[in-house]
Amino acid sequence: MIQVLRDIPARRIILGITGGIAAYKAAELTRLLIKQGTHVQVAMTEAACHFITPTTMQALSGHPVLTNLWISNQGINNQGNGSQESDNQSYNSDDGMLHIHASRTTDAIVIAPASADFIAKLAHGLADDLLSTLCLARNCPLIVAPAMNRQMWENTATQRNIQQLISDGVILLGPDSGSQACGEEGMGRMQEAAHLARDIQAFLQPKLLPKLLTDTHILLTAGPTYEAIDAVRGITNRSSGKMGYAVAQAALELGAKVTLISGPTALSAPQGAKLIQVTSAADMLQAVQQQVADADIFIGVAAVADYRATQTSTQKIKKGATKLSLDLLPNPDILGYVASLPKPPFCVGFAAESHDLIKHAHEKRLIKNIPLIVANLAQQAIGADDNELILIDHAGEHVLPRADKLTLARDLLKHIVALRHSLTHPIKVRA
C-alpha cells in the first residue's frame, strides 16, 4: 500500500454512487480513501439509496451525503471528523447553486459504481439529478468505475457510450472480469475497492508513486497507420491506440519523459506526454528517427501497416468495369530500424497474432533482436478496453492476466524496469 506523506496536501473528491449491487464496495472505498488522507464528499443517486443507505455513507465519510438537486444547503457543512478537520471548507449553497459550487474545490469526481444508465447519461451530457448535474457542471477530472452485468457491458450502446467517455477525456478504471452478482461470468464487475483506492490515489497524488522511470525518456508508437491509395481511400487496421496510450499514461505515472508517436486515433493524449501525430508508416518512421537520439526505452505498440500502395493518386480513382489490381510495397520496419541502431535504446515490441501466438511472438523477438516482446491475441486485443498479455524475454514467458489496458500497462512497465535493470546489471556468478 502506498504511504501518505505528511507534507503532501490532502486531496478532495466527490464520490458519486449510482444504483447497482456494487454500491456496497463504495463503503470500503470511502474508508480506504479517507485512510489515505483524501477528503471524501459522497453524492448518491436515488437508485443508489436502494442499495446502500446515505446514513452508512455519512457515518463513513464524516459528512452528510448529497442526494437531492432541489434541496439547497443539504449537507456540505464539513463539520468534519478528526482526520478531515483540516480540510473543512463550506460550499455556499444558499443560492441554490450547489451543483456548480461543489466541484470547484474538488480535485476529481469519482463515480463508483457507475451503472450502465449513468454512463449513458454522462456520454450524452444529461443532467436530471444532483450527481449527473455535478458531473456536467464540473471543472475537474472525472473518473468512472463501471459496474454492470456482462451483457449490459458488451451491449453496443454501452460500448458506444464508453468510447464517448474516453474521447471526452474521462478516466476509466475497470471494469474487471469475473463472477457477477447475477450468477453470470464475464466483464463488468467493479474493480475491488483496494484496487480503485490505489488508482485514485495514484491519480490524485502522483508524487506518492515510486518514480521508477525518473530521468528516463520513453519513446513509443501507438495506434494504426493509414496508407493512402488515392484521395479518399487507404489501407489501415482497427487498432484504437488504447494500449499504446495506456502505456504512455503508466510511464508518466512512474516519472518518465514520454514521447508518444501516434497514428490516427480518437483518443486524447495523456497529460504530460509529448504527442506527435502521424498518418503513414513512413511518417511514423521519420518521427521516430527525429526523436530516438536521447530515448532510453523504445516501445513499439503501433499496428504499423505492413504494406503501402506502390503508387498513390491525389485524385479519387474512378470506378471502372474491369479488374483493378493494387500493387503493394512493404513498409519500413520501424522497430527493426531502432533495434539495429549502433546504440539502441532498450527495445520492446508487441505482437498481435490470430493463431500460434507464442510461437510467432518468439520468432518476432528473435528476428527483431529485441530483449522483450509482448504477445496478445489480435482478435481480443484490437479495439478492446481490456486485454491479456504474455511477456516473452530470454527467461521465458510471463502472463499478465486479463485486465483493463491501464492496469496491464502498469505491470508491463514494472517488468520492463526489472528486465532492463537485470540485463544492464547482470549478477556475476563466481567460478
**So which residues are the catalytic ones?**
182
Smallest separation (angstroms) from ligand PMT to the CB of 211 = 26
Inter-residue contact 405 to 387 (CB < 8 Å): yes
Give bridge partners of residue 274 from the DSSP assignment.
Answer: 259
Asked whether position 281 contacts ligand PMT by CB under 6 A, the answer is yes
Asked whether position 372 contacts ligand PMT by CB under 6 A, the answer is no
Asked whether position 349 contacts ligand PMT by CB under 6 A, the answer is yes
Rounded to 5 degrees, φ, ψ at 89 are -165, 130
What pairing do the DSSP bridges indicate for beta strands 274-277 and 328-330?
unpaired
Smallest separation (angstroms) from ligand PMT to the CB of 287 = 12
Give bridge partners of residue 235 from the DSSP assignment.
Answer: 227
Asked whether position 382 contacts ligand PMT by CB under 6 A, the answer is yes
Instruction: Pick the binder of ligand PMT from 230, 333, 388, 411 (CB under 6 A).
Output: 333
Asked whether position 161 contacts ligand PMT by CB under 6 A, the answer is no
Smallest separation (angstroms) from ligand PMT to the CB of 106 = 31
Q: In this complex, which beta carbon is closest to ligand PMT, that of residue 65 or of residue 408?
A: 408
- Residues 194-233 as x/- pattern, contact with ligand PMT by CB under 6 A: ---------------------------x-x----------
CA 199, CA 144: separation in Å to the nearest integer? 11
Asked whether position 388 contacts ligand PMT by CB under 6 A, the answer is no
Asked whether position 20 contacts ligand PMT by CB under 6 A, the answer is no
CA dihedral over 366, 371, 376, 378, signed as positive or negative: negative
CA 108, CA 268: separation in Å to the nearest integer? 18
CA 73, CA 138: separation in Å to the nearest integer? 19
Q: Which stretch binds ligand PMT (CB under 6 A): 7-15, 30-38, 294-302, 406-414?
A: 294-302
Inter-residue contact 2 to 31 (CB < 8 Å): no
Size of the site for ligand PMT (CB under 6 A): 27
CA 250, CA 403: separation in Å to the nearest integer? 14
CA distances from residue 94 to 12, 97, 104, 130, 236 in whole angstroms, order as listed: 21, 7, 16, 15, 56
Instruction: Pick the binder of ligand PMT from 300, 345, 393, 416 (CB under 6 A).
Output: 300
Smallest separation (angstroms) from ligand PMT to the CB of 159 = 13
3-state secondary structure of 393: strand
> Would you tell me which residues interact with ligand PMT (CB under 6 A)?
221, 223, 239-244, 281, 300-304, 331, 333-335, 349-352, 364, 376, 381-383
